[in-house]
Copies of this chain bind each other. A is one copy, B any other.
Amino acid sequence: MRWANLALVLGEIAAGPCSRAAVAASTGLTRAAVSSLVEELLAAGLLTEAGRSAPNGRVGRPGSELRLSQDGPAGLGGEIGVEHLAACVVDLRGEVRSWHRREVGNRGRSPAAVLADLAELLRLAAEEAGLHPAGLALAVPGLVRSAEGMIEGAANLGWAEVPVATELRLALRAAGAPELAALPVEVGNEANLGGLAEFWLAGRPDDFCHLSAEAGIGSAIVIGGQLLRGARGFAGELGHLTVWPDGPRCACGARGCLEQYAGETAVLRAAGLTGVGGDWVALLAERAAGGDREVLAALAGAGTALGIAAAGAVNLLDPQAVVLGGGYAELGEWLLPTMRAELAARVTARPWDDSWLSVSPLGRRGPLLGAAVGVVRRIIADPGAYAGG
């Protein structure tokens, strides 16, 4: 009961700085109970008391203003991309306090080599932020068994059955960061974490679909404020929705999957840029902005395929919004027109409002933000476990 009330009070303050009196009014707890719970949260370093708030004319004596602490427990996030690694720290408010990214081709590298590099970035990010991380969460481009800390398969890396949590701990010790090696580790799929970041940080409604280009095409389906995981944890494979049944053979074995029209390789091929290395999203955006007709046509074609697949998801799920995220966010200007046309033509419960399709403000930062913010959100949801632990 006390733990539940700690969460109630902290949740109220997390929604916006407020006084003890305001917390009591909105939670229905007595002033005395709120004061005692607030003392506990202050002692645990989760709150700070930020001077007296100005008199505001509301009923009740204005108290000093309580806020989430900027110096309290933090979330440490790590990301393994096919072409990059990244690490960041967010504070309890979800504000980014450090962010390190390194371009590195990880395709076909061993997990040990990749995790050694990632451990170094994590150490740098934690040092720079100067906060105490309460947990570490990893965004990876593949299917995971989160509870076991396992990557089940990451085709774009060439990895299968990697005990990534255990191996990362070894790497962190080797990198001279034993305090980070001692943290609880969560492993999540990048597309799911990108979708959660969108929900937590970009004010998305309770029911939406998030389509993103990262390694391959990912999607996250949020229903009633919950990520849809599916019976086997495989929900959201929008990249393998059939677009043209007789289309090109996909790496998954099927024909005409969305990835064959809107995935990195397919779009680069259609743009006449096969084999170009580096940041494909930035390259396409630059050429498209410069009026390159082949690139514009390739992106329009990708938008058409994305629209057909998104219309399928909308017809099945009836979400309140469709969000284009990850690398697609930076290409939205050129993808949206054809994508909108397909949605308008194919969503059957009309009217389909153009404004329900929008572009993520987080873009490619989404998955790593989702990983790190997830750590602090778990503390806010259950401060008793943190304070008591």
| Chain A residues engaging chain B, CB cutoff 8 angstroms | 143, 205, 207, 219, 221, 223, 228-245, 252-255, 257, 308, 311-313, 315-320, 345-346, 348-349
Contact = CB atoms under 8 A, between A and B. Distances in A.
B254 A231 contact: no
A317 B235 contact: yes
B143 A231 contact: no
A234 B349 contact: yes
22 contacts: A143-B349, A221-B316, A223-B228, A230-B318, A231-B319, A232-B349, A233-B318, A234-B349, A235-B317, A235-B318, A236-B316, A236-B318, A237-B315, A238-B315, A238-B316, A241-B315, A241-B316, A242-B311, A244-B244, A245-B308, A254-B345, A316-B317
A316 B245 contact: no
Contacts of A242: 243, 308, 311-312, 346
A205 B231 contact: yes
State the 8 A-B residue pairs at the shortest beta-carbon distance, nearest first: A230-B318, A234-B349, A240-B348, A237-B315, A235-B318, A231-B320, A234-B318, A254-B346
A20 B232 CA distance: 39
A119 to B, nearest CB: 30
Nearest to A315: B237
Contacts of A236: 316, 318
Contact of A237 (B223, B237, B308, B316): B316
A319 B312 CA distance: 17
Nearest to A209: B316
A257 to B, nearest CB: 8
Contacts of A254: 311, 345-346, 348
A1 to B, nearest CB: 18
- Quick one: which of A244, A313, A316 has the most chain B CB within 10 A? A316
A115 B257 CA distance: 46
Contacts of A234: 318, 348-349
Contacts of A312: 241-242, 312, 316
Contact of A317 (B230, B244, B252): B230
A341 to B, nearest CB: 11
Contact of A207 (B221, B231, B245, B346): B231
A235 B235 CA distance: 16
A108 to B, nearest CB: 22
A237 B348 contact: yes
Contacts of A231: 205, 207, 318-320
Contacts of A345: 253-255
A304 to B, nearest CB: 8
Given A236-B316, A242-B346, A313-B316, 6 more contacts: A221-B317, A231-B318, A238-B315, A239-B348, A244-B245, A312-B312
A251 to B, nearest CB: 10
A312 B257 CA distance: 10
A306 to B, nearest CB: 12
